[in-house]
Amino acid sequence: MRRMSFGQATVDAMRSAMREDDRVVVLGEDISWGGNFGQFRGLLDEFGPDRVIDMPISEAIIMAVTVGAAVTGLRPVASMSFVEFTLGAMDEIVNQAAKFRYMFGGQVSVPLVLRASDGVLRSSAGQHSSSLEGLFTHLPGLKVVAPSNPADARGLLRAAIADDDPVVYLENKRITAKRGPVPAGDHVVPLGSAAVRREGSDLTIVTYSVMTLHAEKACSSLAEMGIEAELIDLRSLVPLDLDTVLSSVARTGRVVVAHEAWEFGGFGAEVVSAITGQAFDRLRAAPVRVGAAQAPIPFSPPLERAVVPGSDELVAAAREVMGLT
């Protein structure tokens, strides 16, 4: 085990992938300087400017070039720093990257990774605080992962680069600097496998990314109240490991689904609907969702706090699903 931050985990995964396979290149704004969050630091020195490519502020072309490279033999990783900037490349992500394999009848794969940082970090305000997985997960042809700790960051990014399909890798900004243990060696976390972070029999909390940390805290508070929550960290949203979720819900009969993204129409709605559809008879109460209130993310801290959920909201939701309100 080594201890490293999310940022270092990215560098580590990138370095392993780039050493192993010289088709792996990385493109993004300021990338040769290490990227906005230092997640690419040191790669230029080892791999040079042919593989670590500074891009102009042209998100659409970053993605289009990535697609062009991916379908002609490379395995590019594109970086978009803040996830809102992907909105300037949506045509390329959705109409091109996601659809090429299918639309062309399977004759080509599109092995690329789109990496972006999402979520709230100290009042970055409306255009730099969103979580947009609800968009990517809805659109067929994209795989989507969102780690909650450096080991998964390392392992999922490695799996994403090794995957032959377009994978959107989303990392919450607030946890990027956090450190944690990462298994030695070339640690890989397969796409599509959730992790049970804590076992419990009273209710199931399903979440991912930063919300897993809030949920760990919430689980402790709940335990003090005598409520034992099982905590599932999805890690991979597409493909979704529904089996792990359903087998937990089958035991607990109660479920809270949480994310930092907007609740309305968010990915949590899919998880709740899927659970309801497949385990209705096991449910002892209506699943409860936790997500951001339906407003752009405000700047001022008290407003930001009012819109974006944390462990308090998770505790409240757990108590609600337990019928304790």
Partner 1 sequence: MSLTENMSPGLALGIHRTMVRIRVFESRVEELFKAGKLPGFVHTYIGQEAIAAGVCAALDRNDYITSTHRGHGHAIAKGMELGPIMAELYGKATGACRGRGGSMHVADFSVGMLGANGIVAGGLGIAAGAALSARYRGTHQVAVGFFGDGGINKGTFHEALNFAATHRLGVVFVCENNQYAQFTSRLRTTSVEDLSVRASAYGIPGITVDGNDAAATYREALEAVGRARDGGGPTLLNMETYRFGGHYVGDAEVYRASAEVEARRQADPILRWERTLTDEALMTAGLGEAVWAEAADEVSAAVRFAEESPHPDGGTALENVFTQVC
Ligand X SMILES: Cc1ncc(C[n+]2csc(CCOP(=O)(O)OP(=O)(O)O)c2C)c(N)n1
Residue 96 three-state SS: helix
Judged by beta carbon distances under 5 to 8 A according to partner kind, the member of a second copy, partner 1, ligand X, none in contact with residue 191 is partner 1
Distances in Å between the Cα of 142 and the Cα atoms of 100, 139, 168 are: 11, 7, 7
Which of 12, 29, 133, 260 is close enough to bind ligand X by CB under 6 A?
29
265 in contact with a second copy (CB under 8 A): yes
Site for a second copy in 4-63 (CB under 8 A): 60
Nearest-10 crossing angle of helices 6-20, 150-162: 30
Judged by beta carbon distances under 5 to 8 A according to partner kind, the member of a second copy, ligand X, partner 1, none in contact with residue 63 is partner 1
Only one residue has tokens 């690329």, namely: 112
Q: How many helices (H) and strands (E) does the chain have?
A: 12, 14
Judged by beta carbon distances under 5 to 8 A according to partner kind, the member of ligand X, a second copy, partner 1, none in contact with residue 64 is partner 1
Judged by beta carbon distances under 5 to 8 A according to partner kind, the member of partner 1, a second copy, ligand X, none in contact with residue 224 is none
Which of 85, 100, 136, 169 is close enough to bind ligand X by CB under 6 A?
85
Which residues does residue 46 pair with via DSSP β-bridges, in sequence order? none
Order of strands, sheet of 143-145, starting from the edge strand that comes earlier in the sequence: 52-54, 24-28, 75-82, 113-118, 167-172, 143-145, 236-238
59 in contact with ligand X (CB under 6 A): yes
DSSP state of 189: -
Using the minimum distance from each CB to ligand X, give the nearer residue, 61 or 269: 61
Using the minimum distance from each CB to partner 1, give the nearer residue, 274 or 283: 274
Tokens of 223: 């335990």
Q: How far is the CB of 194 from a second copy (least distance, A)?
A: 17
103 in contact with ligand X (CB under 6 A): no
Distances in Å between the Cα of 160 and the Cα atoms of 154, 192, 208 are: 10, 11, 17
Q: How far is the CB of 169 from partner 1 (least distance, A)?
A: 15
Selecting among 128, 187, 214, 259, the annotated active-site residue is 128
Which ranges constitute the DSSP H helices of the chain? 6-20, 43-47, 59-70, 90, 100-103, 133-138, 150-162, 210-224, 242-252, 267-279, 301-307, 311-321
125 in contact with a second copy (CB under 8 A): yes
> Does the active-site annotation cover 259?
no
Q: How far is the CB of 325 from a second copy (least distance, A)?
A: 13
Only one residue has tokens 């493909």, namely: 239
Judged by beta carbon distances under 5 to 8 A according to partner kind, the member of partner 1, ligand X, a second copy, none in contact with residue 254 is none
Which of 19, 21, 57, 273 is close enough to bind ligand X by CB under 6 A?
57
Using the minimum distance from each CB to ligand X, give the nearer residue, 135 or 245: 135
Tokens of 216: 């760990």
Phi–psi pair at 78, nearest 5 degrees: -105, 135
88 in contact with ligand X (CB under 6 A): yes
- Residues 10 and 232: their CA atoms lie apart, in Å, by 23
Site for a second copy in 100-119 (CB under 8 A): 102-103
Using the minimum distance from each CB to ligand X, give the nearer residue, 104 or 264: 104
Query: Which residue of the chain is nearest ligand X when measured via CB?
Result: 85
First-to-last C-alpha distance (Å) of the chain: 43
Residues of this chain that interact with a second copy (CB under 8 A) are 60, 84-85, 87-88, 90-91, 94-95, 98-99, 102-103, 125-127, 134-135, 137-141, 262, 264-270, 272-273, 276-278, 280, 283, 285-289, 294-296, 298
Annotated active-site positions, please? 128
